[in-house]
Structure formats: structure tokens, C-alpha cells
Amino acid sequence: MPPPELIGPQPPTTPGAIASRGSARAIPTDLLREASKRLAIMALMAAVLWILGTVLWHATWFYFHPGQPWRGLAAPDAIAAISAASSLGFFVYMRKPGRNPDPLLRVGLIYMVATCLAIALVMHVGLPTTESLQPQISWIGVVLLMFAAIVPVAPREMLVASLIGASMSPLAMMVTNVHGLAPLEALTTGMLMHYPDFLLAGVAVVISRVVTRLGQQVSKAREMGAYQLGDLLKRGGMGEIYKATHRMLARPAAIKLIRPEMLGAQDEDKGELTVKRFRREAEAAANLRCPHTVELFDFGVTDDQTLYFVMELLEGMDLESLVREHGPLPAARVIHILRQACESLEEAHSQGLIHRDIKPANIHVGRVGMQHDFVKVLDFGLVKSVKGERDGDSLATAVGRTPGTPAYMAPEMALGEQVDARSDIYALGCVAYFLLTGKLVFDAENTFQMVAKHLRNQPVPPSVRAGVEVSHALEDVVLSCLAKKPEDRPPSAAALSRSLDSINVAAWSQEQAADWWTRTQSASAAQ
């Protein structure tokens, strides 16, 4: 199967998470991955600078020594060439996908020390005279500060690595003996000469502590109740989805975050209304038990009023991705998917809940247990109740947000009229059209044109639009779902399911589904 679309476990104690001494809170793995990418870019820049610096040094030598013969390549040039090649190799090593960022960042500290050694050798092999022996800030100090700001490792590790890096100049002086000093004298002189680098090593530790604490604050901010957030997986119009895990049960989950301002709650009164309706609607969604409805584990509100839903882990992909990547689906598979979606909607409708945003991106298909092409309807967290409560507006409409997606919006919803189960039936008909043709029911240049076409235009039959043969019975069912008037559509999801079941098309079998997913997985692995 393709990798999970929503959530996989990311406990704070897993590899790839760095915590400072005395703190169990770790830096999120996605931040560590970003840091490893920055480290790779810095290695590439280092390779360029080694080459460019050497070329420019020789160019400036010719400028300041006109008429003198070229001195030829020297030991510093060889050191620069080796360092440039090593930096390029480190860049390639860091860019390989799928690596755990934690050991990569620690290898980065080794690379930092090696860079400091190369700089020290170039400095002292290139300046073997005693006139150069005076206190100075070298490029080693700059390197230490850059790594401290980019590589989020524990401060104690940065302390050890920075002290070793700063010691490279005195050690180079002692080992190479290029200044003609006794070994002990060279070491002492080197310590005094490069004391500014040791001071900058201390500054690097302070920077490292700041960077680590910022990462830990991000980790704390990502805690949602009993769940710990991991990698960001997806951004959408209503919020973001992160990997997560229950800190006690280690249960994999997905957390969708919705900030009140995304729903238009810009002031305190609207913010309170948003939270109130969120709790009411989340409780209603949590009571849905159909296996084809994504399971809602938990929900809540953080201290900063961020709303969150905790959902189950799903394997597979949404229908939007399925069609975009693999093209239109055969009629038998479309019927198989639609009937499962009908089961989910029928339960919700029976409890007075209308989804109002049925679209391919909100219908997931994949494997559950041993069943393939198992459908899960997503985003039941912002449903509308039609039971007639006094406070009956939905969360979205209560704060001024228009629900639904224009390409799948029923005419009555676009007009702001009363919606019921048949509004979801219309949207599901649009989904069926997309699955059969790979195209939207109507093409439009903007939202207003799209809404206008749903209000006035009659859809072109799927068989004509796609240019392929589609069962007349299936086409009639799909077009009936797309009727402008709600009373002309199937009266319920159950009725639509029965109509689909009566179509004389060979059923889509589990063997076909399993074979399709196996081939798709193999093709993805080969790429």
C-alpha cells in the first residue's frame, strides 16, 4: 500500500527527536528534517567557497605581485580541494531521502570539526612566519556560530564539538611545526593566539541552547490533549493535518487543527460561539459508527483556542488523488465506491447531520484490515444539524464562512436555501461524474461562473463528456443525482445505494481491488 495519508506515530522519545538535559520534551522530527536540509545546503555552499576562495586567492596574488612568476599549487590548495570534495560528498549524503535526521545532525558536528581542521591547516601552513602570531578571530569562529544556529543539537554536544573545533588551530600549530616553535610552546602560543575562537565557542553554546529551546516550545505548542504532534502532512482550506500519537497508548492518529480565525472568528464573542458550536458538532460527529465514516477519537480546544480533531490512521489516498494520478475509474469500481459512501451518509442523515462538503478530496479509499478499496468519508467535523435546534446554524455559517466546494455544491446551497440529505446526494453525483470522466461536471474560470452553471446549466452526460462507454443505467443514476430540484433527486442515500445495486454491471471484486493496489504499490516503489 502507499504510505499512510493521515497519521503515523511520532512519540517524543523516538529517534530523530532531541531533548536537552533535564527535559523530556523533544524537538519535533519535521523541524530536525528541515535543519538537516539546511545543513546540506551549507555543505554545498562550503564546497563552492573552498573552490572560489582558492581561485580568488591566486587571482589577488597576481594582482598584488605583477610580473612575478606564479608560485604554483601549494599545500593549502590541496587542503582546499580535499575539503571541497568532502563537502560535496557530505551534501550528497545528507540529501538521500528517508534518513533519520538525528544521526545526520550528529554527523554534521563531525563535519564541522573537520572543516575547522581544514581551516586551521590552511591558515598556518599558508602563514608560516612568526609575524602572523597575534590574537585574531578566524573563520573557525564563524563556522562555529553558523553551525550552532543551523544544527539543533543538545547544548552539551555543541559545547564539546565547538571546543574541539576551536582547538584545531593550536593543534595544527603544534603538529605541523610550521612556525618553528617547540610543540608545547606552539600549543600555548596557539591557545593565546586563537582565544577569540574559544570565546565564540561559548557563544555557539548559548545560541545552541536558544535554538533547542525554541524547538521544544514548538513541541509544547503542538501538544493536543493527550496527543503529541509530529510531521505536518497536509494543509487545506480549513486547517492543517499532522502526524500524532497518543502519549500513553502509542496509538497512531491524525490531528486536524482549525484555528478560529480560519472560520472568521476575529473577536472574542465570535470566538466563544465558534468553540461552542465546535463542541456540539464534534460530539455529533463522534457518535457516527458506520465503518465507512472516518473514526473520530477525540476533539478539544487548546489554550490558544485552536480547535482540533483526532482521527484514525488511514492507508491509501483520497479520490481526488486517485483520479488525478491514475485516470477515470471503471464503472464497477465507481459503483463499489459510491455504495460505501452512501452507507456513511445514510447514517449521518438518519441522525439529522448533513455533511455539506462531499467531494473527492473528502472520500478516502484504501485498505482496512484485509479489505481493499475500503471507503472512508472524511471531514464530518463541520456538519450541519437539521434537527431544528434553536441554535441550529453550523460552525462554519455561524461565523460567516460559506460551506461547501463550488464545483460540488448543490444549487440550493449556493442560493443559501434550506439544505437536507439531497444536497449531499447532489455532491455525491458530482463525485461520481468526476470518477467516471476525470473531469468536473462544469468547467469554469472562476467561482461565480461555476456556481452559475450549477444553478442553470444541464450537465453533459458522462459518456459524451469522457468519450468512453458508460452504462446507461449508471449514467441515468448519476444524472438523477445532479437534478436542479432536490425533489427530482434520489430521496436518500439508501435509495441511491439501491439504485446503484440494481445496475447490471459485474461487481468490483476484492481480488481486482487487491491486484490494483499491489500493482500501484510496485510501480511507486520502482520510481
For 358-397, write each residue's pLDDT tens digit. Answer: 999 999 999 998 899 999 998 875 566 665 444 444 444 4
State the pTM of this model.
Answer: 0.60
Active site residues: 357
Q: How high is the pLDDT of residue 133?
A: 63
Three cell numbers at 28?
519535533
Q: Are 286 and 387 in contact (CB under 8 A)?
A: no
Three cell numbers at 428?
455525491
Residue (of 428, 423, 422) closest to 478 by Cα position = 428
**What is the pairing mode between strands 240-246 and 371-377?**
unpaired
**Domain ranges in the chain with CATH number 3.30.200.20:** 223-311
Give 362's contacts (C-beta < 8 A, 6+ positions apart): 318, 355, 377, 378, 379
Cα 218 from Cα 189, distance rounded (Å): 44
Task: Count the alpha carbons within 13 Å of 448 in the hemisphere toward its beta carbon.
Answer: 0
CATH of domain 318-526: 1.10.510.10
Residue (of 300, 277, 275, 297) closest to 286 by Cα position = 297
Q: How high is the pLDDT of residue 267?
A: 57
Cα 39 from Cα 93, distance rounded (Å): 11
Cα 323 from Cα 332, distance rounded (Å): 15
Phi-psi region of 22 (alpha: psi -120 to 50; beta: other; left: phi over 0): left
Q: How high is the pLDDT of residue 12?
A: 36
Three cell numbers at 103?
544521526
Sites in the chain below the pLDDT cut of 50: 1-25, 388-401
- We find that the CATH architecture of domain 223-311 is 2-Layer Sandwich (3.30)
**What is the pairing mode between strands 363-368 and 315-318?**
antiparallel
Report the amino acid identity of residue 148: A
Q: How high is the pLDDT of residue 444?
A: 92
Three cell numbers at 406?
463550488
**Domain ranges in the chain with CATH number 1.10.510.10:** 318-526
